[in-house]
Amino acid sequence: MVCFPNAKINVGLHILHKRPDGYHAIESGFYPIPLCDVLEILPAEQLSFQQSGIAIPPDGKDNLCLRAYALLKADFDLPPVQLYLHKIIPTGAGLGGGSADAVYTLKSLNILFGLGLNNDQLLAYSTQLGSDCAFFVENQPALATGRGEVLTAMPIPLANQFMVLVYPNVHISTAQAYAAVRPSDDRPSLSDKFALPLAQWKDHLHNDFEAALFPQFPVLAQIKAELYAMGAVYAAMTGSGAALYGIFDQEVDLADHFQAYWCWQGFV
């Protein structure tokens, strides 16, 4: 069985109060984009994992595909499988690639072995793997609250827009990102802002990590400024990673832009 776990972007991101469990409450729009990894799962004589493309840890607690398998194995008599992941979505970029790989592992095992799990049950497993994993069960535009696992279906009008993603050679740990941000609950909800015309998003939809991280990593501010200079209607960081995206009304030529960085472009 072959599937294609896709990335997501954050449209606006508010960091709210710190919760008793140590996590921060957030509010953000989650939107799926057609940048995908490739995951193949086949029945096998023994459990194995192989990987190509962008390097990730091949085993251990950080391998979300194997963690997803182990989670279902604890409740079902799963036979061994061979997992093969071709990694295209950059890691640590705030694009949710690892979370998508984990949830698509759950979905594929559910189909492959006829486990009969519905979306509510898949959601319960997903939330054990990561805060934003729940999004990839339904994989539809949504307002995310809580730790990112409480999802409310929400129209986010990006369909048929052209997107450019840029990921510079900058590593920002989650701990580093949150240490610099200033949480605040005292502001209007993002939910009313998605309906604004795209031309107004620049003034109303913000990612809190930008104010915290742009002074430390000027290249991020430079990339955002260049996206706007190229004609982006809206540009922002996605998540707490170092990737930025620009939304355009039409396809753009990247020939003279971002040559030193990883880039992706396509209609969303």
| Residues marked as catalytic | 8, 132
C-alpha dihedral sign at 178, 10, 171, 38: positive
Beta carbons of 251 and 165 less than 8 angstroms apart: no
**Sheet with 6-18, side-by-side order of all strands:** 6-18, 24-36, 142-145, 150-153
Cα-Cα end-to-end distance for the chain: 25
* Beta-bridge partners for 203: none
Which residues neighbour 158 within 8 Å (Cβ) at sequence distance 6 or greater? 11, 31, 141, 247, 268
The number of angstroms, rounded, from the C-alpha of 12 to the middle of its chain's C-alpha atoms is: 13
Q: Please name which of 64, 60, 94, 73 lies closest in space to residue 209, comparing C-alpha atoms.
A: 94
The shares of helix, strand and coil residues in the chain, as percent rounded to the nearest 5, are 25, 30, 45
d(CA 236, CA 9): 10
Burial of 265 by CB count in 10 Å (0-12 exposed, 13-18 middle, 19+ buried)? middle
